[in-house]
Amino acid sequence: MNREASQKSTGAVHMDHAHDSAVKHVTGEAVYVDDMLEPAGLLHVYFGTSDCARGNIRQLGLDEVKALPGVVAVITAQDIPGLNDISPTHTLDEEILCSGEIHFAGQPLFAVAAEDRETARRAARLAEIEVEEEPAILDVEEALARKSWVSEPQEMRRGDAAAAISAASHRLRGELRTGNQEHFYLEGQAAMAIPQEDGDMLIYSSTQHPSELQHLVAATLGLSDNAVTVEVRRMGGAFGGKETQAAQWALLAALAAHHTGRAAKIRLDRDDDMISTGKRHDFRIVYEVGFDDDGRIEGLDVELAARCGMSADLSAAICDRAMFHSDNAYYLPTARIRSYRCRTHTVSNTALRGFGGPQGMMGIERVIDAIAARLGKDPLDVRMANLYGDEGRNITPYHMEVKDNVLHELMPELAETAGYHSRRDAIDAFNHDSPVIKRGIALTPVKFGISFTTTFLNQAGALVHVYKDGSIHLNHGGTEMGQGLFIKVAQVVADAFQVSLDQVKITATTTAKVPNTSATAASSGSDMNGMAALNAVRKIQKRLIVFAAEKYGVASESIQFVDGQVLIGDTLIPFPELVNEAYLGRVSLSATGYYRTPKIWYDRKKARGRPFLYFAYGAAVSEVEIDTLTGENRIRRVDILHDAGRSLNPAIDMGQIEGGFVQGAGWLTMEELWWDDSGAIRTHSPSTYKIPVSSDVPEEFNARIWQPGKNREPTIHRSKAVGEPPLMLAISVHSAINQAIASLAPDRPLPALDAPATPERILMCIRSVTDNGGD
């Protein structure tokens, strides 16, 4: 079988390498949790949920569930030996199984373990549940009115925004809503628990956060952390949806295994997955801005109200990140940014690629478009005029200095290569002659802060072994969800040892090898795990150098690792030979590596600090067309220029850029989640929730990595994180659609198109700005 493609030899960094599992992906050999060989006697676990959004369980009638042949165990809140809680930030507000108070429709009430999955699913539907219903809070308006929060409102201030706005020569107010988004990882939530001796538990889970799951399993079963091992080889996509959301299901499997002594597996059906796991937060953004004749912002006041759902989950950090990105790439001389974290009786919203950043950016990009419309300017000119600049124009609303801005170079380069200005003129001409179809174009930038804003999370570990034959075993705390983290870290290791990539064995993430890890999230995977792995490699190399210097009697400075060999003075020795000699010389060939991100700090109370090590930048031009009779829309062309620093693997980074953009475009156009009046979600399957397909991607889709890119900070080989930022490049699509609508009423204020821009929203927006609206 041709396995060469994934195994190009040395020179491992800054080069294209296929994903390490590419061949296994295309042959179907790559193993996901549900594909693993099943232990004998494996049980299958499923769960029953609440239909109502809020209430108290009067009676949980489980007799019929238990009576179904094939059912082995039924588990309720009472059967949890330890803590009944999955809250990731110790807010103790989200149960594994409901103990009485129901907080959303779809909340798990009990679990059932059966001989096969179909029986477990069938049984889970047989419960007779009596609930005393209570009125539910379903939207932000009501939550705001009742001050229903999952965590306290926050405020960020710089200068006196109110004064600046009232003194400005122009003022605007507006409101914008952005919708939820479902992760739609193709592999649904899945886990398998295998009981071990001493009551220990081994868990295989599709999770981004093995360490947290380890801890939760221990807490649930009343064990210490060292009694639980969590392993994950790969996920079939995650996007933030398996950061906290994977835990509950793995815990149900662990509980079943604990109670029966048998291995237990759970795999969610797509509909149940969409009903019972969290999504991207929907936001209501209200702004007031003051600006000068050139469109330069003088003061901005923004209020961000997020629907967090029934528990805190990660909402505090997500809403913080929305605040951190309410400036996007623009200098705000004065700003007041308020954030409300609304508690509602809906599923708890959670991390999704961008983590609040996209919502924050949508607000300010709308502000810029509105300013341009008011002043009759090209929005690109207004964007350029407001970019962060040098001294005096480089402090963020959280008082961090922006030192690495590259947008002054990157945006004009993109405008030039994409032909932005001439196409804008061509579109005006087209719109003039086209009665039904209208076009729009927009160029929007992204500036995205890299680091976990919760500072202590910015640490990572790795474990590297070199075996006697010179082959290398690599392990680190990061998880692989398709983003190419494993290949990138392997490249770093191969490059450091100067061996070919195929000598580096990539292994499953496990809490038994690297402890106390952070979630693979916040785009930080390669930054942190790459550094940790390099740290481990350097330790081993140092020992080899000391050994070789002594053995061969040369100065350690004259020892180098080159091209599969080690140059010792004038002699070249193959790497495996030196390794074997070192082994015989009793040198340890295994090391742990560790990294913590330097320089960062943040004082949340004062809303001040340097939460980010650096920023990732990019910009996109999107051209769209809309049908003014139906609101149907289509992206005609996209040009992207993205700063990945000195990319570790341009092919992998390009995948993140293209994929992130399309996921963002889906969020802002066709992806719509819809709850009915009772608080039940009605779009819980791919037949009702539409993510982009191939034909939604334009033929002309020109994504490029910005060649001069280089991280100012000493990150791993000066690369930049690339997982999340490209998603926000898709804001250009939404902006362009709004421009197309605006072409129908050039003398009116900017249309207030919300997101997602479905055909219905577009058509209704058209009617609100044209005379058609009056009926």
Partner 1 sequence: MSGAIRFLLGNRLIEASDFDPQLTVLDWLRKNRHTGTKEGCAEGDCGACTVVVGDLAGDEIRYRSFNACIQLLATLDGRQLIIVEDLAQAGLHPVQQAMVDHHGSQCGFCTPGFVMSLFALYHENRPPGEQGIGRRQIDEGLAGNLCRCTGYAPIVRAARQALSVPADDHFSQAREQTVASLKQIQPTECLELEYENRSFFAPRSLDELCVLLAQHPDAVMVAGATDVGLWITKQLRVIDTLIYTANVTELQTLAIDKQSACLEIGAAVSYTDAMGALTDVYPDFRPLLARLGAVQVRNAGTIGGNIANGSPIGDMPPPLIALDARLVLRGIHGQRTLDLEEFFIEYGRQDLRPGECVEKILLPLPSAGQQFRAYKLCKRFDQDISAVCAAFALTLDKGTVASIRICYGGMAGVPARAREAESTLHGQSWTQAGLDGAMSALERDFEPISDWRASSEYRMIAAQNLLQRFFLETTRDEPVHLQAGAAT
List residues with catalytic annotation.
Answer: 724
- 264-267 and 43-49 beta bridge pairing: parallel
Q: How far is the CB of 737 from partner 1 (least distance, A)?
A: 13
Which pair of tokens denotes residue 350?
């959670």
Give which of partner 1, ligand FES, none residue 118 binds (C-beta under 5 to 8 Å, depending on kind): partner 1
Query: Using CA atoms, how far apart are residues 306 and 110, in angstroms rounded to an integer?
Result: 30
Q: How far is the CB of 381 from ligand FES (least distance, A)?
A: 39
Buried-exposed string 142-173: b where 16+ CB fall within 10 A, e elsewhere: ebbeeebbbbebbebbbbebeebbeebeeebe
Query: Using CA atoms, how far apart are residues 326 and 361, in angstroms rounded to an integer?
Result: 5
Q: How far is the CB of 86 from partner 1 (least distance, A)?
A: 24
- Name the E strands within 649-757: 700-705
**3-state SS assignment for residue 314:** coil
| Sign of the four-CA dihedral 688, 694, 695, 699 | positive
Give which of ligand FES, partner 1, none residue 650 binds (C-beta under 5 to 8 Å, depending on kind): none
Which pair of tokens denotes residue 229?
């091992």
| Contact criterion met (CB below 8 Å) for 494 and 486 | no
Query: Using CA atoms, how far apart are residues 185 and 238, in angstroms rounded to an integer?
Result: 5
Q: How far is the CB of 172 from ligand FES (least distance, A)?
A: 41
* CA atoms within 13 A of residue 548's CA, in its CB half-sphere: 28
| Contact criterion met (CB below 8 Å) for 504 and 472 | yes
Which pair of tokens denotes residue 158?
């710089």
Under rule CB under 6 A, how many of the chain's residues touch ligand FES?
3
Give which of partner 1, ligand FES, none residue 694 binds (C-beta under 5 to 8 Å, depending on kind): partner 1
726 phi, psi to nearest 5 deg? -65, -25
Percentage helix, strand, coil, to 5, in the chain?
A: 35, 25, 40
Give which of ligand FES, partner 1, none residue 26 binds (C-beta under 5 to 8 Å, depending on kind): partner 1
Q: How far is the CB of 152 from partner 1 (least distance, A)?
A: 34
- Name the E strands within 50-140: 55-61, 71-75, 101-102, 108-114, 128-133
> Nearer to ligand FES by C-beta: 451 or 649?
649
| Contact criterion met (CB below 8 Å) for 589 and 540 | yes
Q: How far is the CB of 57 from partner 1 (least distance, A)?
A: 24
Identity (one letter) of the amino acid at 540?
Answer: I
Q: How far is the CB of 234 from partner 1 (least distance, A)?
A: 7
Which pair of tokens denotes residue 243?
């950061």
Residue 48 contacts ligand FES per CB under 6 A: no
Tell which positions 224-263 bind ligand FES, by CB under 6 A: 237
Question: Any idea which residue has 């690109």 for tokens?
Answer: 380
> Nearer to ligand FES by C-beta: 630 or 685?
685
> Nearer to ligand FES by C-beta: 482 or 660?
482
Tell which positions 545-564 bind ligand FES, by CB under 6 A: none
Helix (H) / strand (E) containing 633: strand 633-642
> Nearer to partner 1 by C-beta: 269 or 413?
269
Q: In 3D, which of 609, 563, 507 has the Cα closest to residue 234? A: 507
**DSSP symbol at 519:** P
> Nearer to ligand FES by C-beta: 288 or 480?
480
Give which of ligand FES, partner 1, none residue 687 binds (C-beta under 5 to 8 Å, depending on kind): partner 1
For 329-365, give the DSSP string.
TB--SSEEEEEEEEE-SSPPP---TTTTHHHHHHHHH
Spell out, one character per residue from 693 to 712, where the chain touches ligand FES: x when CB under 6 A holds, - when not.
--------------------
> Nearer to ligand FES by C-beta: 482 or 530?
482
Q: How far is the CB of 210 from ligand FES (least distance, A)?
A: 20
| Contact criterion met (CB below 8 Å) for 257 and 264 | yes
Which pair of tokens denotes residue 542?
């140092």
Q: How far is the CB of 642 from partner 1 (least distance, A)?
A: 13
Residue 186 contacts ligand FES per CB under 6 A: yes
Identity (one letter) of the amino acid at 620?
Answer: A
Q: How far is the CB of 659 from ligand FES (least distance, A)?
A: 8
Neighbouring residues of 288: CB distance < 8 A, sequence distance ≥ 6: 165, 171, 172, 173, 300, 301
Ramachandran region, residue 279 (left: φ > 0; alpha: ψ -120 to 50; beta: rest): beta
Q: How far is the CB of 482 from ligand FES (least distance, A)?
A: 5
- 55-61 and 101-102 beta bridge pairing: antiparallel
18 phi, psi to nearest 5 deg? -65, 155
Q: In 3D, which of 326, 335, 352, 350 has the Cα closest to residue 448? A: 326
Query: Using CA atoms, how far apart are residues 742 and 762, in angstroms rounded to an integer?
Result: 11
593 phi, psi to nearest 5 deg? -125, 155
Q: How far is the CB of 522 from partner 1 (least distance, A)?
A: 18
Query: Using CA atoms, how far apart are residues 723 and 172, in angstroms rounded to an integer?
Result: 34
Give which of partner 1, ligand FES, none residue 701 binds (C-beta under 5 to 8 Å, depending on kind): partner 1
> Nearer to partner 1 by C-beta: 122 or 393?
122
> Nearer to partner 1 by C-beta: 495 or 625?
625
User: CB nearest ligand FES: which residue?
Assistant: 186
> Nearer to ligand FES by C-beta: 2 or 687?
687
Which pair of tokens denotes residue 690?
């539409």
Give which of partner 1, ligand FES, none residue 51 binds (C-beta under 5 to 8 Å, depending on kind): none
Residue 482 contacts ligand FES per CB under 6 A: yes
> Nearer to partner 1 by C-beta: 68 or 375?
68
- 192 forms beta bridges with 204, 265
Identity (one letter) of the amino acid at 256?
Answer: A
> Nearer to partner 1 by C-beta: 448 or 486?
486
> Nearer to partner 1 by C-beta: 196 or 674?
674
Overall residue count recorded for the chain in this entry: 775
Q: In 3D, which of 422, 397, 270 has the Cα closest to residue 338? A: 397
* CA atoms within 13 A of residue 471's CA, in its CB half-sphere: 6
Query: Which positions lie near ligand FES, rule CB under 6 A?
Result: 186, 237, 482
